[in-house]
Amino acid sequence: MSRKPSGIRVVRSGGYIVHIDICEEVSMDCVKDMHKLYYSIKKEIADLVDEIVPGVTSIAVYYDPRKISGEAVESKVRELWLWSRSIDIAELYKPRRFTIPVAYGGEFGPDLQFVSSWSKLSEEEVVKIHTSRVYTVITLGFTPGFVYMGEVDPAISAPRLETPRVRIPKGSVGIAGRMTGVYGLESPGGWRLIGRTPLTMFDYRKNPPIPIHPGDEVVFKSIRPEEFEKLFGVFVGDYSA
Amino acid sequence: MRNIRVVHVAGHATVQDLGRRGYRAIGVPVSGALDRMSAVIANALVGNEPRVAVIEVFGAIAVHLLGDFVVSVTGGYPKVFLDDVEVEPWTPLYCRQGSTLRISPTGAGRVHYVAVSGGVVCDEILGSMSTYTRGAMGCFGRPLRPGDVLEIGSVDPAEVWERVSDLVPPEQLVSRHAKPEAPLTLRATLGIHTHLLEDVELLLRNEYVVTPESDRMGYRLNGEPLPSAKKLGRLPSVPTDRGYVQVPPDGKPIVLMSDSQTTGGYAVALHVLPQDTDFLAQLNPGQKVRFKLVDISEAEASVRTYLEEVNKPPLYRKELEYWG
């Protein structure tokens, strides 16, 4: 479904959250609108609320009802929505570009074979397609440092696993439909794993623990297993291609 | 040395405070005590500030006290022994150096808090000492095991005792475990996907049972499933929080808890109020809950009261007792 005529859907939840749905299905247009609203909210009302968290097509604003009412947060969000429609994202956020080296296939990407047969392309072609786009960071979430990115070429947009894996090594790179993502830490998960980056994506001793933000750009670069060993543990913020 | 040593753990024990705030946008869960009110009361009973770290215990624990401390145990109503003498939970206890504090569950409540005057002290990670095991962060980054030594902040126990010895917690918290067979009413607002679940009424009409698959990430409930959740399947991931009632395709609700992931792709049917999520944390497998819908103004009023009480726990002074 596309966007509703009124624009956004706002739900007040639990007495301390204002949830905003930008649209109901993932598209990069929707993500762009979400980013504009997210950075507008951050810029304009960050000091009035506790926390502002983007989802894939939505935003949650966590507030303290002793300081501000949900009604007031909602009306500010609606004003900012109208305002954010008329501006360019560049006025709010200047994206950075990150290169993420990835060893594809084999033990690094146990589902590359599946994606190859699903797409009726060779593994090399799948890798070529995955590395040929500049992806936009949609959001971070799920577990520390998990990065959601879009938009994956429809040719390789394999669906997620029916039953998620219990344990996925950190740095794993996966595909779930039109999104691609990197697991910042070891965790369970259901994305199709096509490769793994040797970079440390998330390190709580660093400030910030991950330098990647919504709206940033990511390109993947195919590396050989020997390079994986050499680059293992390099912080994503310290790596340059 | 002012510290305590873990002697025995049967179950799951971690160090928790009120959690890691402000990092959800990079995927870091809040963590912190499952039953926050019990954690802050435990602290208040030993003269600590609300945000001080305590030990959270599912099951049994024994700790050896390598110093004089004022200690309290809250949460459920477990059996508590100081060396071999049975003592009461929910009250300040003056413990001499060399004594051993043991807690064993009774089925009254599920998750217990041990506060020590001066507080457990670990390195703060992203503003909190809470252990988040999945991210290997905070105080060992894993559950406590025998032999672990926890550093305790420096305060004078005698001075603390002067201030706290006659403090009494609110009766409704202490006695809430008295009727384990009665369903617990969980007040909730509509969730962010209620409009997509045409059979959400089922959740509000039926009783649900806490299952053994309940932990610091979420409490899974069993009962009448919501068929509409199967049709919905997976939605674009949304930011979540403790108290969100997620309904995965099997239609059975999961109430998210402190270590839940920061975003989730399942429909959110309801949002249990924070105060009632504390209460839910105390239910053992087999105990029943019922959801009761409240509107936003009631929810905001409840959250305001709750936050006030978390910052300034409601404690009383023991009245003078007269002996006839």
Helix (H), strand (E), coil (C) string for chain A? CCCECCECEEEEECCCEEEEECCCCCCHHHHHHHHHHHHHHHHHHHHHCCEEEECCCEEEEECCCCCCCHHHHHHHHHHHHHHHHCCCHHHCCCCCEEEEEEEECCCCCCCHHHHHHHHCCCHHHHHHHHHCCCEEEEEECCCCCCEEEECCCHHHCCCCCCCCEEEECCCEEEEECCEEEECCCCEEECCEEEEECCCECCCCCCCCCCCCCCCCEEEEEECCHHHHHHHCCCEHHHCCC
pLDDT band of B177, cuts 50, 70, 90: confident
**Side chain identity at residue B101, one-letter code:** L
Whose CA is closest to A216, among A9, A38, A24, A86?
A: A38
pTM for this prediction: 0.95
How high is the pLDDT of residue A7?
Answer: 86
Domain shared by B256 and B225, yes or no: yes
Name the B residues in 286-305 with CB < 8 Å from any A CB: 296, 298-304
Q: Which domain holds residue B239?
A: 184-293
Contacts of B249 in chain A (CB under 8 A): none
Q: Is the pLDDT of residue B319 over 80?
A: no
CA distance B311 to B225: 38
Domain shared by B201 and B277, yes or no: yes
How high is the pLDDT of residue B323?
Answer: 53
Q: Is the pLDDT of residue A58 over 80?
A: yes
pLDDT band of B233, cuts 50, 70, 90: confident
Q: How many domains does chain B have?
A: 2
Cα distance between the two ends of chain B = 46
pLDDT band of B179, cuts 50, 70, 90: confident
Domain shared by B153 and B215, yes or no: no
Domain shared by B57 and B118, yes or no: yes
**Side chain identity at residue A194, one-letter code:** I
- Residue whose token pair is 């390190």: A203
Mutate to test the interface with B, among A137, A142, A216 (most CBs of B within 10 A): A142
Contacts of A49 in chain B (CB under 8 A): none
pLDDT band of A6, cuts 50, 70, 90: low
pLDDT band of A5, cuts 50, 70, 90: very low
Whose CA is closest to B32, among B260, B314, B312, B279?
A: B260
Where would I find the H helices in chain B? 36-45, 157-164, 171-174, 201-205, 227-232, 274-281, 296-311
Instruction: Show the domains of chain A with their CATH numbers.
Output: 9-91 (3.30.1360.40), 97-231 (2.40.100.10)
How high is the pLDDT of residue B180?
Answer: 87
Domain shared by B250 and B167, yes or no: no
Asked if residue B298 is part of any domain, the answer here is no
Count each helix (H run) and each strand (E run) in chain B, helices first: 7, 21
Tokens of A150: 């879009």
* Rounded mean pLDDT, B215-226: 96
The percent of residues in chain B predicted with pLDDT above 90, rounded, is: 91
Domain shared by B114 and B212, yes or no: no
Asked if residue B130 is part of any domain, the answer here is yes
Domain shared by B26 and B118, yes or no: yes
Q: Within 10 A of B86 (CB to CB), how many other CB atoms are there? A: 9
Mutate to test the interface with A, among B263, B294, B311 (most CBs of A within 10 A): B263
How high is the pLDDT of residue B93?
Answer: 97
Asked if residue B304 is part of any domain, the answer here is no
Asked if residue B42 is part of any domain, the answer here is yes
Q: Is the pLDDT of residue A2 over 50?
A: no
Burial environment of residue B105 by CB neighbours within 10 A (0 to 12, 13 to 18, 19 or more): buried
CA distance A214 to A148: 9
How high is the pLDDT of residue B1?
Answer: 57
* Rounded mean pLDDT, A44-57: 96
Report the mean per-residue pLDDT for chain A: 94
How high is the pLDDT of residue B321?
Answer: 53
A111 CA to chain B: closest CA distance, Å? 21
Q: Do residues B321 and B215 lie in contact, with contact meaning Cβ atoms separated by under 8 Å?
A: no
Q: What is the largest CA-CA distance in chain B?
A: 69
How high is the pLDDT of residue B320?
Answer: 56
Domain shared by B249 and B120, yes or no: no
Q: Is the pLDDT of residue A235 over 60?
A: yes
Contacts of B274 in chain A (CB under 8 A): 14-16
Q: Is the pLDDT of residue B324 over 70?
A: no
Residues B27-58: pLDDT tens digits?
999 999 999 999 999 999 999 999 999 999 99
Tokens of B284: 């053992």
How high is the pLDDT of residue A1?
Answer: 40
A196 CA to chain B: closest CA distance, Å? 19
Asked if residue B109 is part of any domain, the answer here is yes
Residues A125-146: pLDDT tens digits?
999 999 999 999 999 999 999 9
CA distance B237 to B218: 17
Domain shared by B92 and B152, yes or no: yes
Domain shared by B122 and B155, yes or no: yes
Contacts of B296 in chain A (CB under 8 A): 12, 15, 70
Report the mean per-residue pLDDT for chain B: 95
Domain shared by B148 and B24, yes or no: yes
DSSP per-residue codes, B143-159: ---TT-EEEE----HHH
Asked if residue B299 is part of any domain, the answer here is no
Asked if residue B302 is part of any domain, the answer here is no
Q: Which residues on neighbouring strands pair with residue A135, listed in sequence order?
A: A218
Whose CA is closest to A36, among A100, A96, A80, A101?
A: A80
* Rounded mean pLDDT, B310-320: 87
Domain shared by B138 and B228, yes or no: no
